[in-house]
């Protein structure tokens, strides 16, 4: 019930934001402030599992619900599926049916961390040698590009990208539209992407990616192949900070 209630509340917040956005008499700056306030309140309530605050927010948000019943239930179902995959998964394997890799390297002089990044990247590539690889740009990006080229990757399949994680994932979604057009519904092995990102960021990134892809497609599988940048024991529990970041990332992905 907690999962369903949290999912429900998350989309009621989104519904309220859409309703606010459709009222022309509200000035743009005020609307943005209201949206940010609602988002922040909801994320904090969910992170703290504050039932009293959730109940109060539910009453306020429902008054502003502008979505049809069908749309609302569809969005709630999507959210439940995303949260279940993110908070319940204990897998960290790379499948052999990937079309896209998103690699987010960490800038570090730590040899152990750099080796972990290289290992995860190469394992993913060797299992999926035709996948398109998106590498987020930073000071050590070229090291990983050279590594891939030395191991048989083609320049045409490597995409070095700048900008936020959201912008990069949106560009991958656009590429999916081109590669699979006009298809938008996929089976489990048809359209998959693996996120090779720091373990400290994996849950927010999974939430962001799933939210972005689920707006346009059905059945895009997002896999976790994160590398450790923190003690493994830190991954055993979803503390308030992780929950807050994850819910915020999902809201960010669902916004246009």
pLDDT at 170: 95
- DSSP string of 85-113, one letter each residue: HHHH-------S--SEEEE-------HHH
CA distance 32 to 179: 35
Residue-level pLDDT at 180: 96
Residue 141 pLDDT class (50, 70, 90 cuts)? very high
Q: What average pLDDT does range 222-230 have in this prediction? A: 89
Peptide bond preceding 94: is omega within 30 degrees of 0, i.e. cis? no
Average pLDDT over residues 169-175: 96
**More reliable by pLDDT, 208 or 67:** 208
Residue 253 or residue 146, greater confidence: 146
pLDDT in tens, 3-24: 444 555 555 455 544 544 444 4
User: Beta partners for 227?
Assistant: 198
Least confident of 4-8, 100-104, 242-246: 4-8
The more confident residue out of 255 and 227 is 227
Q: What's the whole-model pTM score? A: 0.71
Residue 192, SS3 per DSSP: strand
- State how far the Cα of 200 lies from the Cα of 205, in Å rounded to an integer: 10
- pLDDT tier at 247 (50, 70, 90 boundaries)? confident
CA 178 to chain centre: 21
Alpha carbon of 256 to those of 17, 82, 137: distances in Å? 12, 18, 24
Q: Of 109, 28, 20, 33, nearest to 66 (Cα)? A: 20
For residue 43, the surrounding DSSP H or E stretch is helix 28-48
Task: Give, rounded to a whole angstrom, the gap between the first and last alpha carbons of the chain.
Answer: 29
Mean pLDDT score across all residues of the chain: 78
Whole-angstrom distance, CA of residue 7 vs CA of residue 11: 7
Rounded to 5 degrees, φ, ψ at 44 are -65, -40
- Give me the percent of the chain exceeding a pLDDT of 90: 45
Q: From CA 21, how far away is CA 15, in angstroms rounded? A: 10
Task: Kindly state the average pLDDT of the residues 92-102.
Answer: 79
């Amino acid at each position: 019930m907690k999962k369903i209630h949290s999912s429900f509340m998350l989309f009621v917040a989104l519904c309220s934001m859409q309703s606010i956005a459709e009222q022309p008499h509200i000035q743009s700056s005020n609307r943005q402030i209201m949206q940010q306030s609602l988002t922040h309140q909801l994320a904090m309530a969910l992170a703290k599992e504050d039932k009293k605050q959730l109940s109060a927010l539910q009453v306020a948000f429902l008054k502003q619900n502008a979505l049809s019943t069908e749309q609302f239930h569809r969005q709630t179902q999507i959210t439940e599926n995303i949260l279940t995959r993110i908070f319940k998964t204990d897998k960290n394997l790379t499948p052999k049916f990937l079309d896209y890799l998103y690699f987010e390297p960490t800038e570090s002089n730590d040899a152990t961390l750099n080796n972990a990044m290289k290992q995860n990247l190469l394992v993913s590539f060797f299992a999926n040698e035709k996948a398109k690889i998106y590498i987020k740009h930073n000071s050590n990006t070229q090291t990983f590009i050279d590594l891939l080229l030395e191991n048989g990757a083609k320049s045409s399949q490597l995409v070095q990208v700048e900008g936020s994680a959201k912008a990069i994932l949106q560009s991958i979604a656009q590429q999916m539209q081109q590669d699979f057009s006009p298809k938008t519904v996929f089976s489990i092995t048809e359209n998959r992407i693996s996120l090779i990102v720091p373990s400290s960021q994996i849950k927010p990134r999974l939430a962001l990616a799933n939210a972005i892809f689920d707006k346009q497609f059905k059945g895009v599988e997002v896999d976790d192949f994160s590398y450790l940048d923190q003690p493994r024991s830190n991954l055993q529990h979803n503390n308030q900070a992780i929950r807050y970041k994850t819910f915020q990332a999902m809201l960010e992905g669902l916004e246009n």
